[in-house]
Amino acid sequence: MDAQTSNYQVRRARAADVDAIAYVHVEAWRETYRGQMSDDVLDDPVLLPRRRRMWDAILTDPAYADRSAAVAEVHGQIVGIALTGPPRADGTAWERQLYLLYLLRAHHGSGAADDLVGAVLDRATSACLWVADPNPRAQAFYAKTGFTPDGTTTVEDGVREIRMTRPSRPAAPSQRDR
């Protein structure tokens, strides 16, 4: 699952990464949702410890073995994270759900987000995700990777979100099959 883009490396997340992943998760939230989400939520002193506990469970507890997590690093420092797993809603038509994709703002446009998605979500797999609305940059990114809005919306933590879905795609034929 390793990919290299210029000075970025994307790899599977490890238990030793918990503190750095939690930090990126919280900082990216603050960069992304400031003004859309309550400052009380974003500045809550327990936000970082909660994210540490969450990521520790995801990366060490066998109950989360169906999740796939990846990190993007620059010179050994984690700057982006992605997480997929089974769809949270029962009876959905998708095989996977992209739970989160966060990249620190200074690394937007680097290509690392593409590599993160590719590391946790196979192109041949149908998937869904929720994205803040409005968030034109993220929505355009997801559209570029094959996701389209399906008309479903929700509000979570005061942030309106739209669901985007992507059908499964057949694998490209190999040279041998041509």
Per residue in 132-150, pLDDT (tens digit) is 998 999 999 999 999 999 9
Q: What's the pTM value of the predicted model, to 2 decimals?
A: 0.89
**Mean pLDDT within 11-19:** 98
**pLDDT at position 3:** 45
Cβ contact 125:156 at 8 Å = no
* Domains by residue range for the chain, with CATH: 3-177 (3.40.630.30)
pLDDT in tens, 47-80: 999 999 999 999 999 999 999 999 999 999 999 9
Name the burial class of residue 127, with classes exposed (0-12), middle (13-18) and buried (19+) by CB atoms within 10 angstroms of its CB: buried
For residue 87, how many C-alpha atoms fall within 13 Å in the half-sphere facing its CB? 18
For 161, the enclosing helix (H) or strand (E) is: strand 159-166
Rounded to whole angstroms, what are the CA distances from 135 to 36, 96, 105, 124, 163? 10, 22, 14, 26, 13
Name the burial class of residue 54, with classes exposed (0-12), middle (13-18) and buried (19+) by CB atoms within 10 angstroms of its CB: middle
**pLDDT at position 173:** 57
pLDDT in tens, 76-133: 999 999 999 999 877 788 999 999 999 999 999 999 999 999 999 998 999 999 999 9
Name the burial class of residue 88, with classes exposed (0-12), middle (13-18) and buried (19+) by CB atoms within 10 angstroms of its CB: exposed
Phi, psi of 55 (to 5 degrees): -70, -35
Cβ contact 11:1 at 8 Å = yes
For residue 35, pLDDT beyond 60: yes
